[in-house]
Amino acid sequence: MSSHGTWRRSATRAVLATGVAVWLGPGAAGANEQRYQSQLEAIARQAPEAQASEPFTSATVLERAELVRQVLARNPSLEAAREAWRASLERYPRETALEDPMLTYEVAPLSITGSVPFGQVVGLSQQLPFPGKRGLRGEMALAEAQAMREDREALRLRLALTASTLFDDLFVVERSLDVTAEHLRLLGQLKKSAEAQYVTGRASQQDPLQAEVELSEVLREQVMFEAERERLRAQLNGLLHRAPQAPLPPLPEAMPTHAAESVPAERLQDEALRLRPELEGLRARLGGGEAAVRLAKRDYYPDVMVMGEYNSMWMDTPHQFMAGVTLNIPLDFGKRKAAVREAESGLKRLRREEEQLISDIRVEVEQARSRAEEARRVVALFQERLIPAAKDQVSAARAGFESGKNSFQVLIEAERGLRRVELREQTALADVQRRRAELDKAMGHTPGLPRNGETR
């Protein structure tokens, strides 16, 4: 064998090996693989833990934070979202994998039974996309999976807000029942006072009857509150994935008070832009859009198919073994330009959506902050002025009725006004918590949970 032939074969092998290495080169595969493994680990960490058949078994009081934790642990919607995230992530291995190799076999039929030597051809080929295409497809798959992860986090915040809000609604109903019970006792006393005044001739028969009518009205409100309590309990049990009629622990007697926050509005907004999962998800899709543009531009370059073949019908043994490549020729520039324009338009749309979402988040945070401040000021107004004034009005009207200085109607109106103010106070107290939860959600914190105890 000549040294020239040996050099030529060595050079050919080197060229083929270099070409295959270039086409199979990792590119960004290393970083993408790390992102893939990181998301797999995050999915595993967020797997639901085994739950007791019944929550709150040892709880004497239904605490907001524990309710939110139980909802987030037991609600099947979050697990469904986690599985959707996992399904999206598993696109990555498929998008970055090579096409299956192709094995071909051919035979010369007339050589099977004839006197000529048996003729057959065996071939093996592998399609190799242009360098970088698989990595870009992987980036797009990982970006969509990251967006699904943030969608799950956004669902988690919404579930927490719903649970916290229902807790407040239930608190209002429970405390409203307490207020109603107090006013049933008060009206019973006023009815007895009217009857005593009627017996002595200092009141008309209409006064005890009016007290009875007002008692009946309060009893009607009591029935409505009790029915609303059952509906709210069913809703909470639905979030907890329990039977609607399952019992819940009693609520605390009072809402915790929170000092007014003096954090500048701009700082709150900046924190929201850093934490909101919707924005993180959109930015992940932006990364996927950028990869889509680069992938569309890579379609201007050819893919390659490498092949090896054995053909027994060649007489010379060196010619029976063949190797070769096949390239597609990307001549249709029109469809490739259209694909690039499509990808670029999609990317521009995502950028405009990001701008709008940033603006929306800033507005949402500012509105939530303003409503939270309003709720605190309203509670202060109830506690410092409205409730004391309404109680004083009842005391004055009762003393005036018993002394004959005003009618029983004035007393009933005063009692009705006090009841209305006390019921509105319970709503105002709950509104402080509702608005705080809304602000937490607007900022990307978990409503109902201590901020230093959050986990994503």
What pLDDT does 259 receive?
Answer: 64
What pLDDT does 15 receive?
Answer: 44
Residue 78 in contact with residue 160, Cβ under 8 Å?
no
Residue 372 in contact with residue 435, Cβ under 8 Å?
yes
Query: Domain spans of the chain?
Result: 23-50+97-353
Residue with tokens 């006393």: 189
Find how far residue 243's CA is from the centre of its chain: 24
- Amino acid in the structure at residue 285: R
CB-based burial of residue 411 (10 Å sphere; 0-12 exposed, 13-18 middle, 19+ buried)? buried
Return the bridge partners of 102, or none. 125
Domain 23-50+97-353 sits in CATH at: 1.20.1600.10
Average pLDDT, the chain: 89
Confidence (pTM): 0.86
Q: Which two tokens stand for residue 282?
A: 């959109």
Residue 346 in contact with residue 286, Cβ under 8 Å?
no
Torsion angle of alpha carbons 179, 181, 184, 188, nearest 10°? -120
What pLDDT does 338 receive?
Answer: 97
For 321, phi then psi, to 5°, come to -110, 125
What pLDDT does 1 receive?
Answer: 47
Among residues 86, 88, 89, 78, the alpha carbon closest in space to that of 152 is found at: 78
Among residues 178, 170, 156, the alpha carbon closest in space to that of 234 is found at: 170
How far is residue 127's CA from residue 305's CA, in Å, rounded to a whole number? Answer: 4
Q: In the structure, how many helices (H) and strands (E) does the chain have? A: 14, 4
How far is residue 190's CA from residue 203's CA, in Å, rounded to a whole number? Answer: 12
SS3 content of the chain, % helix, strand, coil (to 5): 70, 5, 25
What pLDDT does 199 receive?
Answer: 80
Question: Which residues of the chain, if any, have pLDDT below 70?
Answer: 1-28, 52, 258-261, 452-456
Among residues 62, 18, 418, the alpha carbon closest in space to that of 237 is found at: 62
